[in-house]
Amino acid sequence: MTTIQRVLVYAGAAVVTAYFLYPLYVLLLVGFAPVQYTLDKIYPAQFTMHYTLANLVTALTSYGFIDPLVKSLKTAFLVGGLSVALGFPAGYGLSRVSKKVSSAASTTLFVVNMMPAIVIAIPISTQFVRLGLYGSFVGVGLAQELVALPLATFIIYGTFQAIPRELEYQARIDGAGVGRTMLGVLAPLAKPGIAAAFLLSWMLSWDEFTFAILLSPVHPTIPILIYHNIQRGNLLASTAFALFLTLPVVAITIMLQKYLKGEYLSGGVKG
């Protein structure tokens, strides 16, 4: 690289970094600085030396945070669990069927992934009312699974493609049944992929907005609680919840960096 190119690369990296980090910086600033330095000002300072935990403490203790937190956690674990329960066999099956069958099945999953949540949620809501699932974490989780399952399946599918079939045949010859082969031999080998699928599904549910607001508006998850508080003008509370929602997810995103590759994100579609 010439010097000019080097300068250009650093300048570009600096601009992109600023665009990606500035909003997070603002969120932290509003979250941790006293409100007279941030939202109470028409032109808030870009930097301050005054910090406080009072915003967070007030928000987390006096705005009914516990119920939404519990609901969000229950939903996210349900979605993660469903993704493994359905995605593990599906990913295994996909890696073993003929090319024609596997591309038909992954096309179906890919189409599901693109289905608008709002279109599906409207008819589902009346059925959930009838089944007593409307407003429950189970109902929200069952719907959110539609977003998570295709991605989880593709990740596990990718993992199985890398596991030699001979290992499986060996186990079968040694007398292990299908169940034991899957749980005893294949599951441990596919563990990283399964863990990634679980975490990604957990995270998709934790962040999900559309299904959650359409199917459980009165007993909200955290994202909906954030929205309700913006509507009511409780901006500091919504900021505190937003920070709380974001921290685990940013950690998981960085952990999953390896799996967030173009191929998985494009859902198996080749250009």
Partner 1 sequence: MRKPNDLNYLLFIFPALLYVGYFSFYPAARAVYLSFQTPHSHFVLVNYKSLLYYGLSSAVLNTVALTVGALLIQLAIGLGAASILLREFRGKRVFSALVIIPMGVATVVAAVTFSFIFPPPPGGYANALLELLHLPQFNWYANTLASLFTVMVADSWKNTPIVTLILLAGMSGVSPDLYRAAEIDGAGALRRFIHITLPNIRGSIAVALIIRGVSEFNIFALPLVLVGYRIPLLTTLTYEFYSSASIGDYYYSLASATILLAFVAAFILVVLKLGGGRR
Among positions 236-255, residues that touch partner 1 (CB under 8 A) are: 238-239, 242, 245-246, 249-250, 252-254
Should residue 81 be labelled a site residue for partner 1 when binding is judged by CB under 8 A?
no
Kindly identify the residues of this chain, within the stretch 116-135, that bind partner 1 according to CB under 8 A: 116-125, 127
**CB nearer to partner 1: pick between 149 and 155:** 149
Contacts of residues 103-106 at CB distance under 8 Å and 24 or more positions apart, as own/partner, are 106/153, 106/154, 106/157, 106/267, 106/268
Report if residue 162 touches partner 1, rule: CB under 8 A: no
AA identity, residue 172: R
Asked whether position 148 contacts partner 1 by CB under 8 A, the answer is no
Size of the site for partner 1 (CB under 8 A): 102
**Residue 32 Cβ vs partner 1, minimum distance, rounded to whole Å:** 13
At closest approach, how far in Å is the CB of 120 from partner 1? Answer: 5
Q: For residue 103, what are the CA distances in angstroms to 21, 29, 110, 156, 201?
A: 39, 48, 10, 15, 22
Interface residues for partner 1 in 206-235 (CB under 8 A)? Answer: 206-207, 209-210, 213-214, 217, 223, 226-227, 230, 235
Among 3, 49, 98, 166, binds partner 1 (CB under 8 A): 98
86 binds partner 1 (CB under 8 A): yes
Q: Would you say 22 or 61 has its CB closer to partner 1?
A: 22
Q: Does 47 bind partner 1 (CB under 8 A)?
A: no
Please identify which residue in 58, 93, 180, 187 interacts with partner 1, judged by CB under 8 A. Answer: 93
- Which one, of 169, 127, 117, lies nearest residue 147 by Cα? 117
Looking at beta carbons only, is 12 or 192 nearer to partner 1? 12
Residues 50-79 that bind partner 1 (CB under 8 A): none
